[in-house]
Each structure stands twice: as structure tokens, then as C-alpha cells.
Amino acid sequence: MALPTRVKIVEVGPRDGLQNEAATIPTDIKLTLIDMLGAAGISTIEATAFVSPKWVPQMADQSDVMRGLKRRPHVTYPALVPNMKGFEAALEAGCEEIAVFTAASESFCKKNINCSIDESFDRFAPVIEAALDRNMKVRGYISCVLGCPYEGEIKPPAVAEVARRLHQMGCYEISLGDTIGVGTPLAAKKMVEAVARLVPLKHLAAHFHDTYGQAMANLFAVMELGIATIDSSIAGLGGCPYAKGASGNVATEDVVYMLQGMGRETGVDLNKLIDASAYISGYLKRPISSKVAIAMLAKRG
């Protein structure tokens, strides 16, 4: 078993987690959450998305979030950027790392960003170029890598080809998104194996939603292949507005607990993570979907 000794957690709760909330969450609540995640030792916290407020109203305060960050040394605060308009706004707000996003499914791409996969590349080619010119790192996301809400099955070679194009354009990391959480461990392995034939494993990340309760098993399966970067969301918050019924990402608390139990390094303080989980769940008045957080909070009394 070749599990990586150190695993990087990319916390996506403030963006992927909160983007789906119907009620407007005040900017200061988002900033406090982000600060608590930084205090817990998370080194990459996706802070917001420079997308259209008509499409995702919850991210309308993107510039205020980016400007309001109490930046910690050794923590990066990337943001999603779909086009040049978003990139310019991100730059102006002081954003230092961006992520572009597309899909392995044409139908999902159209619903999510209103264009085909090819057109999405046309849109973010200048974004990537402008970012790299400024020495900014660019991450690339692919949605629907293990299934699509509109097209059903997605074949691994289709995912691999999109990953290859993102990597070739200069994305330092490609995050493989099981947007609707339908994957199972052997399918996740097959998909990663197909992608790794075209993009070296060290440039790949797993971004698994937990809709069908498979995310932890899927993560273990792909870590066995060498995946050492995991996207997760505090308290298991979230979902995608353009994937009906999709629940949140795998909970960060659960991932960190599993990794610590297996003696893998994460640099994260689980107790402080639980504080962040309790904070945001308390604000949202929502039961926490992380089993680890539920157990640890019950123990605290």
C-alpha cells in the first residue's frame, strides 16, 4: 500500500460550501470562518468566486471577502474565476491565486457556465495567460468526472483529455470533481488511472462530494494510487447550484481524522477544525454532516 505520507488539504467550504446557501451570509461571518480555518492549520483556503452575482448570488460579496482577509503567512486564498471580467475583479481585490473551471460533460458545462467545453477553454485561455504573466498560480477544476446529472455516465478518457488540456495550458494542479457524488471506489480508481496516463499524479487532486456517502471510500482508493491533495469542506457544507440534489463535499473533519488515524501528516489541528465546524453550523442552524465533528462535540459536552 503506497499511501502518501503527507496530504495537502484544500478547504473549499467558504466557496463550494457556502455558494449553495439561499440566505445571504454576511461577509464578516465568511471572514471569521476563513480565519478559523487558517488558525486550524489549513494552508489553502478557497475564499470565494469571481462569478456573476446573477448566477450565484451568495458569491456577490467576492471583492469584500478578498479584501477583508486577515492573511496568514503560509496560507493561500485562491478564488474561482470563469472569464476575464472575473479575473480583473479578482486582481483588483488582491487575489493571488485563481482557479478556472470546466467539466467533462458538455451538458453540465452549459448549465454551469453557459458554454461548451471548447468555449470554456477559449474563455479562460487569456485568463491563464494573464495570470501566469503575473506569476500567479492557476488551478483547474473538472466537474462530473464520475457522472453527470444530465448525461449519466462519463467515460474516463473524456476526463483525461480535459485534464491534459488544462495541464498543457499551465494549470499547476487539476482538481477532479465528482460533483454529484455518484462515484464508487473502483470507478474512482479507473478514472484517476486514465487521467494519470496523461497528467502526472502529483498534479492531480480529488474533489469528491458525498451525496451517496462514498467520498471517504473513494478518497482512500485514489490515495492508494498516490493522490496526495484532497479538497474538502468544513462541516461537509455545500453542493453545486447547477447539480440538483448534490450534497456537500466530503467533510474536512472526517478526512483529517482518517488521515491522522493512518499516521499521515496534514498540518491540521483537528480540535481547532471542530471549532470552525461548530461556528459555521451554529450560524447556519444546521446539523453538522461530519460524523467526526458530531462525535467530538458530543465528547466536549
In this chain, which residue has its C-beta nearest to Mg ion?
A: 16
Which SS3 state, helix, strand or coil, does residue 39 take? helix
Residue 247, number of CB atoms within 10 A of its CB: 21
Which amino acid belongs to residue 300? Answer: R
Number of residues that bind ligand HMG (CB under 6 A): 27
CB 251 within 8 A of CB 257: no
Of the pair 49, 66, the CB lying nearest Mg ion is at 49
Task: Check residue 178 for interaction with Mg ion (CB under 5 A).
Answer: no
Query: What is d(CA 121, CA 100) in angstroms, rounded to the nearest whole number?
Result: 9
**Measured from the CB of residue 245, what is the shortest distance to ligand HMG in angstroms?**
13
Query: What is d(CA 216, CA 209) in angstroms, rounded to the nearest whole number?
Result: 10
Of the pair 100, 294, the CB lying nearest ligand HMG is at 100
Task: Check residue 223 for interaction with ligand HMG (CB under 6 A).
Answer: no
Contact partner, 56, from ligand HMG, Mg ion, none, Cβ < 5-8 Å per class: ligand HMG
Cα–Cα distances in angstroms (integers) from residue 235 to residues 55, 256, 266, 299, in the given order: 24, 12, 17, 17
Of the pair 97, 296, the CB lying nearest ligand HMG is at 97
Task: Check residue 16 for interaction with Mg ion (CB under 5 A).
Answer: yes
Residue 176: what are its φ and ψ, rounded to 5°? -95, 110
H or E element that contains 187: helix 185-196
Q: Rounded to 5 degrees, what angle do the CA atoms 184, 187, 191 make?
A: 135
**Measured from the CB of residue 204, what is the shortest distance to ligand HMG in angstroms?**
14
Of the pair 91, 177, the CB lying nearest Mg ion is at 177
Selected binder of ligand HMG within 21, 29, 43, 55 (CB under 6 A):
55
Cα–Cα distances in angstroms (integers) from residue 240 to residues 26, 124, 230, 247, 289, in the given order: 20, 20, 18, 8, 16
Active-site choice (109, 148, 171, 240): 240
State the binding string over 236-275 for ligand HMG (x if CB under 6 A, else -): ----xxx---------------------------------
Task: Check residue 179 for interaction with ligand HMG (CB under 6 A).
Answer: yes
**Measured from the CB of residue 205, what is the shortest distance to ligand HMG in angstroms?**
11
Which SS3 state, helix, strand or coil, does residue 204 take? strand
Selected binder of ligand HMG within 42, 51, 162, 182 (CB under 6 A):
51
Contact partner, 226, from ligand HMG, Mg ion, none, Cβ < 5-8 Å per class: none
**Measured from the CB of residue 194, what is the shortest distance to Mg ion in angstroms?**
20
Residues with Cβ within 8 Å of 197's Cβ and at least 6 positions away in sequence, in order, are 160
**Measured from the CB of residue 263, what is the shortest distance to Mg ion in angstroms?**
28
Which amino acid belongs to residue 39? Answer: A
Query: What is d(CA 212, CA 100) in angstroms, rounded to the nearest whole number?
Result: 26
**Which stretch in 16-24, 35-43, 81-89, 94-102 sits in contact with Mg ion by CB under 5 A?**
16-24
CB 41 within 8 A of CB 80: no
CB 117 within 8 A of CB 126: no
Of the pair 46, 253, the CB lying nearest Mg ion is at 46
Q: Which residues are catalytic?
A: 240
Residues that bind ligand HMG (CB under 6 A): 16, 19, 49-52, 54-56, 80, 82-83, 85-86, 101, 112-114, 141, 143, 177, 179, 207, 209, 240-242
